[in-house]
């Protein structure tokens, strides 16, 4: 097992933990990937269209007002369909990360298709940034090929796995993992199951309590709190104050380093490489 860095090695002087605000800008693709026939259902797709049409500008406004550097993971097809929005994200200084080309889980693809998705997605994002450093799979699922594929294509980090609360190095690849968790994702709390009507939509108070507890626990343990939000969910008018509350929590708690995912990965990589003797 790879060595784990302690807090003093991982974070900038005087900081005890890191926080990344990350947004998976799925737009319509989250609905199309699971059901290609959804392209013929504008009502269904409108749930994702809201993200591009209304939510992203609202979120960019919140981030700008609070001076928060964030990371947006964007599927290639979203970058093609909503190129204006993606250009706004980049112009505001936020990081772009890879989120598949069609928002299909790599576990549903052959190795050749997985490679094709990765390359296609990189090409779509290359219109906006010289390179993408991070990969977040649609669904957070990776295959036994994914890490080698990412390393081969020059990625610096993956943000998909739930086996730690601190960044770590994937042995033999040089890739940093920035661990995530369902509890810090807005989708499990807010995504309504419209086919079954079986799922309750959580209140912002419930989610705020879960997020505060998880943030506090990760802070105490010197970890990295990776918030994963989706414009179509967190960008509803009643939920934007929750985003603002989490930003205030991160910015007002002493010892917290708020940074983009690639900055956290770069810092962790240096600290962890010195432990393993790797370069
Ligand atoms: Zn997604």
Summarize pLDDT for 81-109 with one digit per residue, the tens: 999 999 999 999 999 999 999 999 999 99
143-152's contacts with Cβ under 8 Å and 24+ in sequence apart are: 143/106, 143/107, 143/109, 143/111, 143/114, 145/106, 145/111, 145/114, 145/115, 146/106, 146/114, 147/173, 147/175, 148/173, 149/114, 149/115, 149/118, 150/118, 150/175, 151/175
Residue 279, pLDDT score: 46
Q: How far is the CA of 78 from the centre of ligand 1 (A)?
A: 11
Distance 71 CA to ligand 1 centre (A): 13
* Cα 7 to ligand 1 centroid, rounded to whole Å: 30
Q: How far is the CA of 153 from the centre of ligand 1 (A)?
A: 21
Cα-to-centroid distance, 24 and ligand 1 (Å): 5
Summarize the confidence of residues 142-148 as an average pLDDT: 96
29 alpha carbon – ligand 1 mean position (Å): 8
pLDDT at 133 over 60: yes
Expressed in angstroms and rounded, the spacing between residue 276 Cα and the centre of ligand 1 is 33
CA 209 / ligand 1 centre spacing (Å):
24
The pLDDT of 9-31, averaged and rounded, is 95
Stretch (H or E) spanning 95: strand 95-98
| 68 CA distance to ligand 1 middle (Å) | 21
* H helix or E strand, kind and range, residue 29: helix 29-34
Report whether pLDDT(199) > 60.
yes
pLDDT, averaged across the chain: 94
CA of 26 to the centre of ligand 1 (A): 5
Distance 279 CA to ligand 1 centre (A): 32
End-to-end CA distance of the chain: 18
Confidence at residue 3, expressed as pLDDT on a 0 to 100 scale: 65
CATH architecture of 15-276: Alpha-Beta Barrel (3.20)
Domain boundaries, the chain: 15-276
Report CA(138)–ligand 1 centroid distance (Å): 5
| pLDDT(278) > 60 | no
């Amino acid at each position: 097992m790879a060595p784990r860095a302690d807090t003093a090695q991982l974070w900038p002087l005087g900081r005890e933990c890191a926080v990344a605000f990350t947004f998976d800008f799925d737009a319509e693709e989250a609905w199309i990937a699971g059901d290609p026939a959804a392209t013929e259902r504008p009502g269904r797709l409108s749930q994702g269209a809201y993200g591009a049409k209304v939510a992203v500008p609202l979120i960019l406004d919140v981030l700008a007002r609070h001076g928060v550097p964030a990371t947006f993971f964007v599927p290639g097809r979203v970058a093609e369909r909503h190129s204006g929005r993606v250009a706004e994200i980049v112009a505001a200084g936020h990081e772009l990360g890879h989120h598949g080309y069609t928002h299909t889980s790599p576990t549903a693809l052959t190795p050749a298709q997985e490679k094709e998705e990765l390359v296609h997605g990189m090409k779509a994002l290359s219109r906006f940034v010289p390179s993408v450093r991070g990969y977040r799979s649609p669904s957070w699922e990776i295959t036994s090929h994914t890490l080698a594929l990412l390393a081969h294509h020059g990625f610096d980090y993956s943000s998909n796995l739930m086996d730690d609360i601190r960044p770590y190095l994937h042995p033999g690849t040089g890739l940093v993992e920035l661990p995530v968790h369902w509890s810090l994702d807005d989708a499990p709390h807010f995504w309504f199951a419209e086919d079954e009507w079986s799922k309750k939509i959580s209140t912002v108070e419930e989610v705020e309590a879960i997020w505060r507890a998880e943030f506090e626990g990760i802070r105490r343990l010197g970890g990295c709190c990776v918030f994963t939000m989706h414009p179509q969910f967190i960008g509803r008018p009643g939920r934007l104050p929750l985003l603002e509350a989490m930003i205030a929590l991160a910015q007002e708690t002493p010892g917290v380093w708020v940074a983009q995912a690639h900055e956290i990965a770069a810092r962790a990589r240096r600290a962890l490489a010195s432990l393993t003797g790797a370069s």
